Amino acid sequence: MRRRSAIRRKMLCLWLLLIGFALVALALSDLFNRDSDRNLHKPGPPRQPLQRIASPPDLEVIVDSHDPALELGADLTPLKSLQEDQLLFVPSIHGTKSSPQKKRSYKMLLPGASKDTTVRGPPTHGEMGKAVRLHLEGLERDMELRALQQYGFNEVVSERISLHRRLPEARHPECLGEQHIESLPSASVVICFNDEAWSTLLRTVHSVLDTAPKQYLQEVLLVDDLSQQGEIIHPSIHPSIHPSIHPSIHPLIQCADSLFRLFSMLLLGHLKTGLSEYVSHLDGVRLIRSTKRLGVGGCRTLGATRAVGEVLVFMDSHCECQKGWLEPLLERIAQDRTRVVSPIMDVIDWQSFRYNATQWPIRGVFDWRLDFFWESNPELQDKDPEMAVQPLQSPALGGGVVAIDRHFFQSVGAYDPGMVLWGAEQIELSIRVWSCGGSMEVVPCSRVGHLTRRHLPYRFPDQDLLQRNKIRIAETWMDTYKKIYYRRDTLAHFIRQSENPNITERLRLKRSLGCRNFHWFLTTVYPQLYIPQDRTALSGELYSVGTGRCVDYPQGRGLQGGAMDVAPCTGTGSQVTMITDYLMITTDK
């Protein structure tokens, strides 16, 4: 009996493999013949075939029928923030100008007639920003946990939410009837991503397309910062994870797991061929792929070099836009081209994808460790009711969504090319904009939801990258106040003792722009930032012998006053407490 059962299991596994290979062959055949089949069954003029030029597989630009940057005659000089071999040039089949020729090869995908992507099905989970709570078990629960580990949010919930989901109205009633000036500048929305989940990336794109008026939205630029995803997340179904499964079917489970992996590798490279195919059917959306890992600043600068809109709107790849979010931003920039503006950033919960409106007024600030956070102060609106719809100047802006005039972005130095991957680039830009003649605002009649993460879904190749980025800020912009930062971040202090950051170009930029010093920034832009006393009686972590914990301020509360908390001791310098000459206790962040 055991021998017959083993033979039966082997035969069943063989049949599963044969069926799997047959399905793969059919799918690949359908992929190769998809365009010709559409032309045979679609009425109207035939679709223009895809045109490709031989190139390495990691370099791709998707445009509409021509390169708009060349037809519109963008007159900006090349940005110095990117090396020449990091730029992608696309030849135009229209217009009189020609792009710089490069010796390396590339490929270009030219889609023909686009299909209608605005058809919406019936409402799904999460409509009107409501929370989605799933109670999954078994393999589905394993898939949920694996996706959570990879992305930092519940991607299984995200997959069940419509790409066009409706959001609750969060704007102030006075914003709804607001009239904007007629001649608003055009906008290019630049969305950088690296291994972003398919559902959140496409929901961001469709949210922009669904809410931004076409007369103002010049284009959406997707910039792939060297994504590596070539297969989808699938649950590990090793028998040890499911001890309740009878051992007799373990070979079938392993066979099915191998088959699933085969489908994933061959058919589901969603950020590669799948994304290219999808984007080719969206009007006004272009895809640029970087040949190098650039990080946030470098990736956005790359997008800026290809953008043609008068205003650049940098947006994270996991956002959802409210109606009317774009016009207030464009109007503020149209009135003053040196303004850099941001919407109110509402919060999308990482677990349930519930849309939570942020309380106004709010502004972006940072502490002496150069950590950014949003600071809320509702008392301001109580004193001045008109503030409900008035933009509020902000010492800093977050990187979730930020809009800036394209010419001003270049003239002020774009993003610092010396800042690596991710971390503190927005603080550097904020200090530079303010110090070099610009200003920053949060615009309350513009709202965009930003998805929070439970944890960062990627690891840095160098654990000290964030400190090195902050050291560049301190050495370039903080003058003598940089010693306060080094007292707060002992790791950065030791790194600085052994390394010299190359900031020659940024210092030259600072001089050429006639930028003001950091003392001006503290006294004029951000006087609320407490400047520590030069002399301290005692300093260090205030340790509780009874609980084994250290005194700490929750992030942001230290600048507004309030009670201290106790938290596990970190030993990183973030919980430094000082007793001043006046016997005052402060965290002095």
- CA distance readout (Å), 71 to 50, 88, 452: 21, 17, 39
Distance CA(224)–CA(111), nearest Å, equals: 19
Kindly give, in sequence order, each residue whose CB lies less than 8 Å from that of residue 411, ignoring residues fewer than 6 positions away.
513
Distance CA(381)–CA(361), nearest Å, equals: 7
CB 232 within 8 A of CB 344: no
- Overall number of domains in the chain: 3
Task: Per residue of the chain (589 residues), give pLDDT as tens.
Answer: 556 666 666 677 677 777 766 666 655 554 444 444 444 334 443 433 333 323 333 334 543 334 444 444 445 544 544 443 344 433 333 333 333 334 333 333 434 334 444 444 444 788 998 989 988 888 888 888 888 888 888 888 998 999 999 999 999 999 998 888 889 999 999 999 988 999 999 999 999 999 999 999 999 999 998 887 643 433 333 333 333 444 444 455 445 544 444 444 444 455 567 888 899 899 999 999 988 888 899 999 999 999 999 999 999 999 999 999 999 999 999 999 999 999 999 999 999 999 999 999 899 999 999 999 999 876 666 667 677 889 999 999 998 999 999 999 999 999 999 888 777 899 999 999 999 999 999 999 999 999 998 877 766 666 688 899 999 999 999 999 999 999 888 888 898 888 888 999 999 999 999 999 999 999 999 999 988 865 555 667 777 888 888 888 665 444 445 567 788 887 766 677 666 554 455 555 5
> Based on the domain organization, do 254 and 293 belong to the same domain?
no
> Based on the domain organization, do 340 and 240 belong to the same domain?
no
> Based on the domain organization, do 458 and 445 belong to the same domain?
yes
> Based on the domain organization, do 478 and 522 belong to the same domain?
yes
Query: Of 486, 511, 529, which one is at a domain's C-terminal end?
Result: 529
> Based on the domain organization, do 294 and 423 belong to the same domain?
yes
120 domain residue, yes or no: no
547 domain residue, yes or no: yes
> Based on the domain organization, do 33 and 146 belong to the same domain?
no
123 domain residue, yes or no: no
Q: What does the longest C-alpha to C-alpha distance in the chain come to?
A: 88
As given in the structure block, the two tokens for residue 365 are 């600030």
> Based on the domain organization, do 289 and 240 belong to the same domain?
no
Distance CA(284)–CA(276), nearest Å, equals: 14
CB 575 within 8 A of CB 552: yes
Query: Of 529, 548, 571, which one is at a domain's C-terminal end?
Result: 529
* Structure confidence by residue, pLDDT tens digits, 289-319: 988 888 899 999 999 999 999 999 999 999 9
As given in the structure block, the two tokens for residue 279 are 């984007």
45 domain residue, yes or no: no
CATH code of the domain covering residue 297: 3.90.550.10
> Based on the domain organization, do 226 and 317 belong to the same domain?
yes
> Based on the domain organization, do 519 and 449 belong to the same domain?
yes
Would the pTM count as exceeding 0.75? no
Query: Of 267, 286, 321, which one is at a domain's C-terminal end?
Result: 267
Q: Between β-strands 311-315 and 187-193, what pairing exists: parallel, antiparallel or unpaired?
A: parallel
Residues in the chain: 589
Distance CA(200)–CA(303), nearest Å, equals: 20
Paired strand residues for 405: 311
415 domain residue, yes or no: yes
Paired strand residues for 551: 566
> Based on the domain organization, do 54 and 75 belong to the same domain?
yes
Domain that holds residue 275: 50-114+128-230+269-529
* Structure confidence by residue, pLDDT tens digits, 422-432: 778 999 999 99
Distance CA(472)–CA(495), nearest Å, equals: 12
> Based on the domain organization, do 110 and 197 belong to the same domain?
yes
> Based on the domain organization, do 346 and 263 belong to the same domain?
no
